[in-house]
Structure 1
Amino acid sequence: MPSTLVLGSALFLVAWVIIRLSKLGSREPSLPPGPPTIPLLGNMLDFPKSRVHLKFTEWARQYGDLFSLKIGNSTIVVVSSAKMLRECMDSRGATMSDRPHVYVAELVNGGLDMPWSHYGPTWRNLRRASHDMLTKSACDKHLPIQRAEATQLMADFLDTPDRFYTHIFRYSASVILSVVFGVHCASFEGSFIEEFHKSQRNWDNLLRPGASPPVEVFPILKYIPRRYAPWKDKCDLVRQGQTAVWRGLLTECIERMNNGKRNEAFLEYVIDHKEKYNLDETLIGYLGFALIEAGVDTTSIFLQFFVQLMSLHPDVRQRAQKEIDDVVGSNRTPTMDDLEHLPFVKAIINEVNRYRPFAPTGVPHASTADEHVGQYVVPKGATVFMNMWGIFRDEEVFENPEEFNPDRYMKSKFGTKPGADTTGFREDIIFGSGRRICPGMHLASNSIALNVMNLLWAFDFNHAKDPLNGQPIPIDPNAFSDGIVLSPEPFKCDIRPRSQAKAELIRKELTDAKSVFEQFEPAKSKV
């Protein structure tokens, strides 16, 4: 009898395990629809290792603007319409503002980096501090340094136009470094900016799908010996690079304060009020680093695509230049007050954002409670992607969405075709949704507007010519990096000042800008 009982128990256990394993990877009936799953793995073999936004958009056309994927026992939900984005993210901010557990991110920053920090007290303290600096009214106070840096960007384009990529990155980084740390970087090479750029590229590569094993699905992979897990060494490299950047900058800021040389940098205020925000020195450093991350990529990627698209579409460029010439003239450079009188320039800005969103699937959110969305459930613990690429490529909303056409924003506020449902669209939708919306969007919007006006006012952008045969060098608009952020692969173009008079005015304004730069201490040395 005892042996029969043991045998029966064993058979029951085996049956239970088989039933559990048979359900692993399958889609629960309450989930939104999605591609067919296979036992154990779910959609793991289907999940793209590159160009994730393209596959998400393909699936959205097949399964709807809210679809799901199963990766083992984990659930991914993808939102692919503005209406559903409002329903999921904006209306349910309290339960849709966490971040998924990303093991490599935890190895790199331990959950202290605001973009990857879990929704909780630490994130709320960091967010509150960043919000105090980056409100719209607060950002208006930063316009002098943005204008000065934008003038240097034009001068850099005059001197070495072939290096426009690093000039743009230097501008974007130096603005946020001045505002946050009180440090101005006059050049890309040999500065904190160069080291930051290197660490960010390493970080982006580490976050690419397939760059590290699926530890979140198979936690046992955490225990792979380091000699068989080169991705762990890459995590160490990224962590060391990021720490060196923020620690070096924070040290300079503290030393300047101790020497009585304050310049009203934001972190000076945070250091003075660290008890108010409940932040120690490490969190203050990570706060500063997070603001650099957000500020640099948003602006620099936009301007890289802008230069590319103006080179590819001379008719659009020339039309915008005529509008600027009529409003601004040739005797001064543009100011932010001019923007409201430049509707086609604003249309170009909106169309660049639509055509090439810098974060095509956003940084993923995670749900902290079951949420009923229509007839479906987004379960607690689900990873939620905002498919911005799919939202801006919806043929029911945008006419010929694969075409770069600023005129669409001259016809309607959101660039949509007549009669399209614009529910959920916002002017700031490109910066995300819910409580995780980009805190630096006002600073970034000012930088983008200033530089678009300046560069159109000052320069012509065309195809570069092959020195051997004089033929135009092709620019591939679909060649861009792969990862969370989308940036164009290096390309050549011909950048020339529109007149000698404009070039001379830029030189004069750069001289005048030195009084602004003098308020900000130059970075002492490379990290």
Structure 2
Amino acid sequence: MARSSSSSSAITAGTIFLASAIYFYYQNKKKQSSLPPRAPGYLPVIGHLLQLMKPIPIQQLFYNWSLEIGPIYTCYFGSQRWIVLNSIETIRDLIVDRGGVYSSRKLPDTLVHDFMQGDQGGGFAFFPYGASWRRLRRIAHGGLIKSKVDEYQPILDDRRTVLLSHLCHLSKEKANYSAQGVQLSNLVEHYTMTSILAIAFGDMCNFQPGDPALHKAFALTERAANTMSPDEQMREFFPILKTLWPLKRAKYIQVRNDVAEFYGGLLDQFRANMAENSDNVPDCFVKEVMKLNELTDLQIMNFVAIFVGAGSDTTNSTLEWLLAYLANHPEVQDKAFEEIKDAVGLGRLPGSQDEPMLPYVQCIILEVLRLRPPAPIAIPHATSKDDVYKQWLIPKDTIVVLNLFATHQNAERFPNPNAFQPERHMEFVLSSQERTVFKQTIEDRPHLSFSTGRRVCVGIHLAERTLFMAASMLLASFKFENVGSPINVDIPRDIRATTWSPSAYSLRLIPRHENIESLL
């Protein structure tokens, strides 16, 4: 009897699923004539899902399609409809010029509500466009504007010195000069993670490599990213699965609780330090937002969790790509070192005040961000109402994807786009020194790695400063050599990951001169 009941339930569920699939198929068929052209490889019901199984990163797949059918097209993943933008022109026209329509979000309920606790939490990066998002964005922006980053500079100086100390120690080890070389990913990750934690909470976050508490922060960042897992996305592509395939919310609530425990503990310690003597607490993000008295503890914790998770992962991947490209191009390293030696000298490390005197170092960072944007398709936008673009209708609640990688591959803007050529940005760098106001649009930088428009990365100035401090120190202090053949920069660590990172590699680091340890 139980078996019969089970079989009957399965047949009923299958019938409901099939009926829903047929309904969505005919709905999509009716709408397609007015939408941007459909991407290749479409199949009834499932749309382009099988295309995602191809062994190439999604940004490359989307770019290949743009070469075939144009810079804007429609993809279907079950019931979801995506409009993919692959050119600077379409991004300017829609994301920037029509930001009031194209700046919302439509993300999984699990991420927005179960993990970030919806409006009660501080996960404004995932909020739909509206009053709540504007309020929280304003608060975050106030604590991360360029003048505030200048106030946080002593923290970044300290974190960079710690990284240099670890590298000096490593360069002395005999294994460094063996055939195997050394991997620097753990030290780079330590620098980026502790820099952002220290910006958030001040010098109470001086974790050492291997510290169990810091390891917990690493693990939390990874587990939070897993809330965007394929299983959860499949449920979004086929809403009927939310009924047939109940979500085990407990695992997402556990991640939320672990985040609250870790960052809540840091917040309690910070409040105790402030109560004891606030004058002894250095300027930092949490101190700044607490002055406003506008955020709950939950919102502060989620603010910091977002900054640490997004900022550390993306900055870390950029520095790993930078080291890989430098090792493959010793002539670029040598040219940058000569620039630093001539403009700054060898008696000290370059500081933030030296950035205008080091245009070639700036060019190197820009070229790495162009070639390897850390989040190549960004966080998807969504339309807040129907819109007509050229001859196409783009309906309300359509997911809009910015393929940043594709915009950086435009051969007209970037001749020989796959080549690592930092000097291509020199004219931009020299001309930008005359500007004092940046509007954070597509003209401000020769890349869109921090996105653009109203959803541009709120931590853009902190990210750029953190990258410059690390890159200038690395180029001033060491020469990086390949172990054997050049590093393969075409194979990412995980083609399905949200963040674009290189596969593991080893290299040798050789001190540039004998005075490096004196800089500590």
TM norm structure 1:
0.82
Quote the Cα distance in structure 1 between the aligned partners of 2:340 and 2:384: 49
Q: Within 5 A, what are the aligned runs for 1:24-423?
A: 24-26=27-29, 27-36=31-40, 37-48=42-53, 51-106=57-112, 107-111=114-118, 112=121, 113-160=123-170, 162=182, 164-182=184-202, 183-208=204-229, 210-212=230-232, 214-224=234-244, 235-236=252-253, 238-261=255-278, 262-274=281-293, 277=294, 279-410=295-426
The answer to whether the Cα contact below 8 Å between 2:327 and 2:480 also exists between their aligned partners in 1 is yes
Equivalent in 425, 446, 449 of residue 430 of structure 1:
449
CA shift, 1:320, in A, is 1.2
Deviation at 1:424, TM superposition (A): 4.3
Judge conservation of contact 1:170–1:185 (CA < 8 Å) in 2: no
Q: Per the alignment, do residues 272 and 19 of structure 1 end up closer, same or farther by CA in structure 2, a change over 3 Å counting?
A: closer
Change (3 A) 1:317 1:151: same
Could you tell me how far 1:311 is from its partner in structure 2?
Answer: 1.0
| Unpaired segments ≥5 residues, structure 2 | 1-18, 172-181, 432-440
- Cα distance in 1 for partners of 2:20, 2:238 equals 17
Give the root-mean-square deviation of aligned CA atoms: 2.7
Residue 499 of structure 2 is aligned to residue 479 of structure 1: no
Contact 2:108 2:233 in 1 (8 A): no
Equivalent residue of 2:75, what SS?
Answer: strand
Alpha-carbon contact 2:367-2:422 (below 8 Å) kept: yes
- Asked whether the equivalents of residues 21 and 39 of structure 1 are also in contact (C-alpha less than 8 Å), the reply is no
AA of the residue aligned to 2:519? I
After TM superposition, the structure 1 stretch with the greater mean CA deviation from structure 2, 233-242 or 435-444, is 233-242
More helix by share: 2
**Count of residue correspondences:** 470
Deviation sequence 1:110-169 (CA, Å, 0-9, x none): 333232233233322321111111111221111121122112111111113545222222
2:458 is the counterpart of 1:439: yes
Q: Secondary structure at the match of 2:48?
A: coil
Distance (Å, rounded) in 2 between the aligned partners of 1:365 and 1:271:
30
Aligned to 1:506: 519
Shift of 1:59: 0.9
Task: Give the secondary-structure state (helix, strand or coil) at the position aligned to 2:102.
Answer: coil
Deviations 1:316-364 (A, max 9, x none): 1111111111112211211223222222212111111111111111111
Amino acid at match of 2:206: C
CA shift for structure 1 position 66: 1.3
Instruction: Give 5+ residue unaligned stretches, structure 1.
Output: 1-15, 416-422, 465-471, 508-527
Helix, strand or coil for the counterpart of 1:399?
Answer: coil
Partner SS state of residue 291, structure 1 = helix
Taking the aligned partners of 1:489 and 1:249, their CA distance within structure 2 comes to 33
Distance 1:255 1:72, change over 3 A: same
Residue 82 to residue 115, structure 1, CA distance change in 2 (3 Å): same
Tell me how far apart the structure 2 counterparts of residues 74 and 303 of structure 1 sit (CA, whole Å). Answer: 35
Q: 1:195, 1:241 within 8 Å by CA — same for their partners in 2?
A: no
Q: Which amino acid aligns with 2:162?
A: Q
What is the identity, as a one-letter code, of the residue corresponding to 2:170? T
- Identify the residue that residue 174 of structure 2 maps to in structure 1: none
Closer/same/farther in 2, CA of residues 341 and 271 from structure 1, 3 Å limit: closer
